Amino acid sequence: MSESKAAPVTGLILSGGGARAAYQVGVLAAIADLLPDTARNPFPVIVGTSAGAINAVGLACGALHFPEAIRNLTQVWQSFHSAQVYRSDWPGVLRQAGRFVSNALFGLGGAAPVALLDSAPLRELLAERLDFSGIAAAVARRQLRAVAVSAFAYESAQAVTFYQGRAAIDPWFRHRRVGVPTRLAVEHLMASAAIPLIFPPVKINREYYGDGAVRQSAPISPALHLGATRVLVVGVSGKSRGSLDDVQIDRPPVARSQRPPSLAQIGGHMLNSTFIDNLESDIELLERLNYMGALVPDDVRRRGLGLKPVEVLVVAPSKPLDQIAARHRRELPAALRLFLRGPGATRASGAGVLSYLLFEAGYCNELIELGYQDAMAQKAELLRFLALEPSVEAQASTR
C-alpha cells in the first residue's frame, strides 16, 4: 500500500482545564455511543495536558475495552467531590494557606514545594483507579500507537511531552519542546495537572514540573510527532472562534462594571490564556498551513514536496463554562468558599477561576451533559471524520 493511500492515523487531543475536563468525558461518551458494538479504540494516538492528561491516560489504560474505559471515566467524574482532588476540609485548607503565606512572604518552610491547595488526594485517587499496565497491553496488541502527557519543566523552561508507545517512535527536540519516551506513571499525571501556584510542582528525576499548558506553544505538535495524520481536538473554551462579522468595530466596547478587576477575575484571564489561547492559535495555524498546502500543484505534491494536510475537527463548549460554574458555586465546600471569597472567585465576575476548581458532582454532570449534546450536534461530522457507521443506539436516539 502506498503512503498516499495509507489508512489515516487518528489522534485525540484533550486539552487542560481542571474541572472543565468533565466536558471531555461527555464528548467521549457520545463517541462511544456512536461506535458500533464491535468497534475498537478509534484513537491510536492519545495526547493530554493537565486534567486532559488524566482523561487521556484513563482512556489509554482501557484502550483494549474502549466503551468500558469511557464508562469508568464517566462514573468517576459524575461522582466527583473536591475532597478527591485536593484537601478541602478546614484543617487542610488552613494548614496549606498558612504554609503558602509563610513560604511566599517570609521564606519559611525550606525547599518543599508549596501551593495554595494540597493535591495529595488526587494522587491517591489516580493510584487507586488507574491500571497503567493496560497501556503496554494495548500497544502490544496494536490497539494503541502511543499515549502522551505534557508537563512544563521549571528549571530548563521546556515543554516536555512524556510518551509511551511503540519502539519505532523517535524522540523529538524542538525549541523549548521535547518528546521523551518513558513508562508513564502517576507522577507524570500529577506533574501535568499541577496548575502553577494552585497545585504544588512535582519532581520527576532531577527536575520539578508543573502544568503542561504553561508555555506549550504547539499543543497539536505532539500528536503529529507520534504519527497522527488527523486530529480530533476536544477543547474546554466556552468561546468559539468567530469571524470579523462578529466584531463590532464601529464603536468601542462598553464596560459592564466600573469596579476594578478582582484577583479572581485577573486569575481567570491568566488561566484562560494558559489553557486556551495556545491551542486555539495552533488550530488556526494548522488550518492556514492546510490551505497553503492545497495551493501546491498536484505534480509537486505527488513528488512529496508539498505540505501534507492534517485534518482537524474541533468539539468545544457551546456555552460559557464560567457561567455554569457560577450557578454551582454553592457546591464548593465551606472552607474553600471562605478561602476564595476574598479574591472574588465566588462572585460572577471571578467564576473563571471557579470553573477550573469546582470538582463537584452538580457542575461536572452539567459539563458532561453539555459535552454529550455538543458532540451529538456534530454527529454527522464525527461519523465522517472517524469513518464510522452509527451504532443502533445512535440511530435510534441522541439521548
- Consecutive H or E run containing 129: helix 120-129
Q: Compute the radius of gyration of the chain from its Cα atoms.
A: 21
What torsion, rounded to 10 degrees, do the Cα atoms 51, 54, 57, 58 define? -130
Between CA 216 and CA 197 the distance in angstroms is 18
Cell digits for 298?
498536484
Cell digits for 126?
489516580
Phi-psi domain of 344 (left: phi exceeds 0; alpha: psi -120 through 50; beta: other): left
* Alpha-carbon 268 to chain mean position: 17
- Consecutive H or E run containing 153: strand 146-153
Between CA 311 and CA 324 the distance in angstroms is 31
State the alpha helices, DSSP H only, in 273-309. Answer: 278-294, 298-302
Between CA 361 and CA 331 the distance in angstroms is 8
State the angle between helix axes of 22-34 and 361-377 in degrees (0 to 180), rounded to the nearest 10.
40
Just list the catalytic residues: 50, 211
Between CA 230 and CA 225 the distance in angstroms is 12
Are β-strands 311-315 and 173-174 bridged in parallel, bridged antiparallel, or unpaired? unpaired
Q: Could you give the maximum distance between any two Cα atoms of the chain, in Å?
A: 69
Q: How many CB atoms lie within 10 A of CB 151?
A: 34
